[in-house]
A and B are shown apart, each in its own frame.
Chain A
């Protein structure tokens, strides 16, 4: 039996085989990943597996495909995103149609969610018994998109909330969930406000809202604008929403050909990606495009405690990298190899 187990394990390793950095078998001590950075790697197109890279807070320890290392199985196809709630990390595996739940400190598998979701995109927990998942449904069908409500005690979907098409990222504030409708394969221009199990209201924003941050009593929504190929190109914009009344208080437009992505915040400063540059904007007195601070085409961007973390997906068919910049000098201070298409950066503080 032991031999069989070993064989199975060996087979699993060989399937995901990577030439130079095969994972060392055997579970890690608990809390191996207590302090550090997780990078989720979507993995190659087609049938491959995505994985998670861990980099310790002091940058001395870098581990690839930690889910496989700890649990002896592949994570799945297109690792879209990850989020924490209490002790757990919820990893959304889009094309494998599942959410893997692991202990955020040991990365040991806890459970998974496979029913009540369809093309899941993002997870957001609100407290120890409730979480939300955005779902595209059939990407060709703009009428079947929904948000699943998950009971985090049983990890079962307890309700589904039909929403406008292309729901993606979520943020919470107070007892409300704000869902950005980027638009899936198309374009949308809405924020849904969910309270409990119902859509309480929707807020019209610019076209293609792709990222959001909360700052004080404001929600900043970065809208990419319609790309030129749609035949109806619209300018990228930054929309400021007053959370006390759910109204748009300000819209700051870029030029019509400018399509920003990756809004993130650290302290009072907002950062985003545009045409191969990272811009910095003061959230208290917004003026676009803001100051150019760093050059580079980045796939994901996160500002955190005075540093900017940015991923480079290269040609999307080979291992990417995570670059870390010091925001006081705007100089790169670290670079680490990641897996294929590093699409998410998360901090286990």
Chain B
């Protein structure tokens, strides 16, 4: 944790940079372009939810928190702040792709993203795309994908934000970011950190969480430059996490984990005639170090470098037909104490098409074919339809074939890794309906996912565990999203949003619900606004989950409430003060068996908009 001091100094250095500023520069967001524009253009018949900044700020301690309280995704979190893996529509942790500016950043080793290592502050936009996205986003976009996007603009922007927060369990955090434009330049810089002793009470157990300290630091640079017929962009981020892994009800925490990731993406976009062409180069680096005893210098480590080169071109004919063709080459080289030194080359060809037949009806067809892989090269496809039946009612329909490639751990783990593994494949169908009556909006999605060749580690002969393509699962369920807001008198607004999901995820051989997939999950937020005062109550219901494959053991359902308030002073600079009381009723709950989650706790924050 030595770097802590350095990080803090860096933040204060940044804080002092922008003294002269205008009050409401960020309110009037000018025309903004996403680094990954495909997301919007070729997902018309898919459920795409964008989380607003205010929602993200409310649950900003980690991406786990942001999504847990604002989506139907379930997170299996090994104690607060520890390893956190998602289950999206009942699929496994490696079947949710995390897409950073259009690039899949799931770990080369585990195939997953640990959602507690990602700061929600680093991005201009966080979106949830439900359902299969394998054609566009590659391996792992099975249950759905989480999109962490940066954007740029060349309108006048001069905006700086600095926030500090302090809370229970010696939790300290800070975030500073500045966005500036001048001439043909766009530049955005940001740093943030959070550090916590994380020694919360196990409610009613007369014990505290031990050995669960964590530190997360992130820094970002996003730059864009307008060129004669296009634009050049650079997106960059660095994250560092240093965590001790906490004990549980019957274990003493001893181990620790440190990870570093850097991500860089350079894109050059040029419009040549009708062709909008983009060349991109990306580099991803990930490194982890696992310390069986955090007090000792012994560790196991792994590091991976991914190089990606891509060329894509898009045409948009008569404002109706949009076609995008892309070739992408990636080279991954990884070295780990448990997996040796290995590499993987993949060439992918992707064709995306969206056709707007009328203002009310559009459809899309997408294909992906891969080459060079050691396993069977997948051919993926998806099709989607969006139909606005009336101004109150819209229909979505999509179907896709998706895959998840074996990870380097699956293939090369010493001992047990199986180089004969094939990708997991899944087929899915989704029907979505959107209702809109004034301020009342509702979305009902129903889906069916059939997966086969799922990779599972099983004990082989001689007692060595080996991964094999053995499992078959069937997932189906429904998701409901409701939003409503009403103005009472002139300056009072009451808002309500809620998510509910029913998920049946069945192991077809055992005919049992998969472990760590709740049948029911619901979230809801009531919000009251008066001028610049905002008060909200946030609730989460997580249904019971099975922890054994024969469904003989379970973790009980729980309900958690958080209460928060914010007040903004219309000063210059604009200052916002906020407080959030989490787990208001001080409920004992576990997210993973025998790992209690935090007792009632308070967070305070102070934010300057300069």
List residues of A whose CB falls within 8 A of some B CB. 7-8, 11, 14-21, 44, 46-49, 74-77, 93, 95-97, 138-141, 224, 227-230, 259, 261, 275-276, 297, 313-319, 340
A265 to B588 alpha-carbon distance, docked (Å): 49
A297: B residues at CB distance < 8 A: 459, 461
**In the complex, how many residues of chain B place their beta carbon closer than 8 angstroms to a beta carbon of chain A?**
37
Q: B547 on the interface (CB 8 Å rule)?
A: yes
| Inter-chain contact B251/A95, CB cutoff 8 Å | yes
B556: A residues at CB distance < 8 A: 14, 17
A20: B residues at CB distance < 8 A: 552
Q: B184 on the interface (CB 8 Å rule)?
A: no
Given A11-B204, A227-B415, check contact A96 B292 (CB 8 Å): no
Q: B520 on the interface (CB 8 Å rule)?
A: no
| Inter-chain contact A138/B554, CB cutoff 8 Å | no
| Inter-chain contact B515/A77, CB cutoff 8 Å | no
| Inter-chain contact A19/B554, CB cutoff 8 Å | yes
Task: Name A315's closest neighbour in chain B (CB-CB).
Answer: B549
| Inter-chain contact B594/A15, CB cutoff 8 Å | yes
| Inter-chain contact A316/B459, CB cutoff 8 Å | yes
Nearest Cβ on chain B to A143's Cβ, whole angstroms: 11
A313: B residues at CB distance < 8 A: 459
| Inter-chain contact A141/B588, CB cutoff 8 Å | no
| Inter-chain contact A19/B463, CB cutoff 8 Å | no
Residue from A96, A140, A318 with most neighbouring chain B CB atoms (10 Å) = A318
Nearest Cβ on chain A to B184's Cβ, whole angstroms: 53
A97 to B551 alpha-carbon distance, docked (Å): 28
| Inter-chain contact B548/A44, CB cutoff 8 Å | yes
| Inter-chain contact A48/B515, CB cutoff 8 Å | no
A16 to B554 alpha-carbon distance, docked (Å): 8
Residues 408-453 (chain B) with a chain A CB within 8 angstroms? 414-416
| Inter-chain contact A229/B415, CB cutoff 8 Å | yes
A227 to B462 alpha-carbon distance, docked (Å): 8
| Inter-chain contact B464/A47, CB cutoff 8 Å | no
Partner of A46, one of B462, B552, B592: B592
A17: B residues at CB distance < 8 A: 553-554, 556
Q: B458 on the interface (CB 8 Å rule)?
A: yes
Residue from A75, A139, A317 with most neighbouring chain B CB atoms (10 Å) = A317
Given A18-B553, A74-B249, check contact A315 B593 (CB 8 Å): no
Task: Name A139's closest neighbour in chain B (CB-CB).
Answer: B292
| Inter-chain contact A48/B549, CB cutoff 8 Å | no
| Inter-chain contact A15/B548, CB cutoff 8 Å | no
A340 to B554 alpha-carbon distance, docked (Å): 13
| Inter-chain contact A96/B251, CB cutoff 8 Å | yes
Nearest Cβ on chain B to A180's Cβ, whole angstroms: 16
| 30 residue pairs bridging A and B, Cβ less than 8 Å apart | A11-B588, A15-B590, A17-B553, A18-B554, A19-B554, A44-B547, A44-B548, A44-B593, A46-B593, A46-B594, A47-B593, A47-B595, A48-B593, A48-B594, A77-B251, A96-B252, A97-B252, A138-B293, A139-B292, A140-B292, A140-B298, A141-B296, A259-B462, A259-B463, A297-B461, A315-B549, A317-B515, A317-B549, A319-B550, A340-B553
List residues of B whose CB falls within 8 A of some A CB. 78, 204, 248-252, 292-293, 296, 298, 300, 414-416, 458-459, 461-464, 515, 547-554, 556, 588, 590, 592-595
| Inter-chain contact A138/B298, CB cutoff 8 Å | yes
Residue from A14, A44, A48 with most neighbouring chain B CB atoms (10 Å) = A48
B298: A residues at CB distance < 8 A: 138, 140-141
Given A74-B249, A95-B251, A138-B298, check contact A18 B204 (CB 8 Å): no
Would you list the 9 A-B pairs with minimal beta carbon distance, nearest first? A229-B415, A47-B248, A318-B550, A47-B594, A318-B549, A76-B250, A317-B549, A259-B462, A77-B251
| Inter-chain contact A49/B594, CB cutoff 8 Å | yes
Residue from A8, A21, A139, A315 with most neighbouring chain B CB atoms (10 Å) = A315
Task: Name B555's closest neighbour in chain A (CB-CB).
Answer: A17
B415: A residues at CB distance < 8 A: 227, 229-230
B463: A residues at CB distance < 8 A: 259, 261
B252: A residues at CB distance < 8 A: 96-97
B248: A residues at CB distance < 8 A: 46-47, 77
Nearest Cβ on chain A to B467's Cβ, whole angstroms: 13
A44 to B592 alpha-carbon distance, docked (Å): 12
| Inter-chain contact A275/B547, CB cutoff 8 Å | no
| Inter-chain contact A74/B250, CB cutoff 8 Å | yes
B296: A residues at CB distance < 8 A: 138, 141
A50 to B78 alpha-carbon distance, docked (Å): 18
| Inter-chain contact A318/B416, CB cutoff 8 Å | no
| Inter-chain contact B250/A77, CB cutoff 8 Å | yes
A220 to B160 alpha-carbon distance, docked (Å): 75
| Inter-chain contact B547/A48, CB cutoff 8 Å | yes
| Inter-chain contact A317/B249, CB cutoff 8 Å | no
Task: Name A74's closest neighbour in chain B (CB-CB).
Answer: B250
| Inter-chain contact B553/A47, CB cutoff 8 Å | no
Nearest Cβ on chain B to A255's Cβ, whole angstroms: 13
Partner of B250, one of A49, A139, A229: A49
Given A229-B414, A275-B461, check contact A15 B249 (CB 8 Å): yes
| Inter-chain contact A47/B292, CB cutoff 8 Å | no
A260 to B293 alpha-carbon distance, docked (Å): 32
Nearest Cβ on chain B to A8's Cβ, whole angstroms: 8
List 20 other contacts, CB 8 Å, given A97-B252, A139-B292, A141-B298. A18-B553, A18-B554, A20-B552, A44-B553, A44-B593, A47-B248, A47-B250, A47-B251, A49-B249, A74-B249, A95-B251, A140-B292, A224-B462, A227-B462, A261-B463, A275-B462, A276-B461, A315-B458, A318-B550, A319-B548
A313 to B550 alpha-carbon distance, docked (Å): 12
Task: Name A318's closest neighbour in chain B (CB-CB).
Answer: B550
| Inter-chain contact A47/B548, CB cutoff 8 Å | no
A229: B residues at CB distance < 8 A: 414-416, 464
| Inter-chain contact A19/B462, CB cutoff 8 Å | no
Nearest Cβ on chain A to B594's Cβ, whole angstroms: 4
A228 to B461 alpha-carbon distance, docked (Å): 11
A14: B residues at CB distance < 8 A: 556
| Inter-chain contact A227/B464, CB cutoff 8 Å | yes
A11 to B251 alpha-carbon distance, docked (Å): 18
A228: B residues at CB distance < 8 A: 462
Given A138-B293, A227-B462, A229-B415, check contact A47 B249 (CB 8 Å): yes
A120 to B300 alpha-carbon distance, docked (Å): 22
Task: Name A97's closest neighbour in chain B (CB-CB).
Answer: B252
Nearest Cβ on chain A to B458's Cβ, whole angstroms: 7
A18: B residues at CB distance < 8 A: 552-554
Partner of B552, one of A276, A316, A318: A318
A139 to B291 alpha-carbon distance, docked (Å): 11
A275 to B251 alpha-carbon distance, docked (Å): 34
A204 to B397 alpha-carbon distance, docked (Å): 69
Nearest Cβ on chain A to B395's Cβ, whole angstroms: 40
A259 to B293 alpha-carbon distance, docked (Å): 31
| Inter-chain contact B462/A47, CB cutoff 8 Å | no
A47 to B300 alpha-carbon distance, docked (Å): 21
| Inter-chain contact B552/A319, CB cutoff 8 Å | yes
Task: Name B465's closest neighbour in chain A (CB-CB).
Answer: A316
Partner of B548, one of A139, A140, A340: A340
A76 to B250 alpha-carbon distance, docked (Å): 5
A140: B residues at CB distance < 8 A: 292-293, 298, 300
A227 to B464 alpha-carbon distance, docked (Å): 9
Nearest Cβ on chain B to A154's Cβ, whole angstroms: 23
A222 to B542 alpha-carbon distance, docked (Å): 49
A140 to B300 alpha-carbon distance, docked (Å): 9
Given A97-B252, A138-B293, A318-B548, check contact A47 B592 (CB 8 Å): yes
Nearest Cβ on chain B to A317's Cβ, whole angstroms: 5
A227 to B414 alpha-carbon distance, docked (Å): 11
A19 to B546 alpha-carbon distance, docked (Å): 9
B553: A residues at CB distance < 8 A: 16-19, 44, 48, 340
A93 to B458 alpha-carbon distance, docked (Å): 24
A258 to B77 alpha-carbon distance, docked (Å): 41
A297 to B251 alpha-carbon distance, docked (Å): 30
A340 to B594 alpha-carbon distance, docked (Å): 15
A74 to B249 alpha-carbon distance, docked (Å): 9
Nearest Cβ on chain A to B439's Cβ, whole angstroms: 42
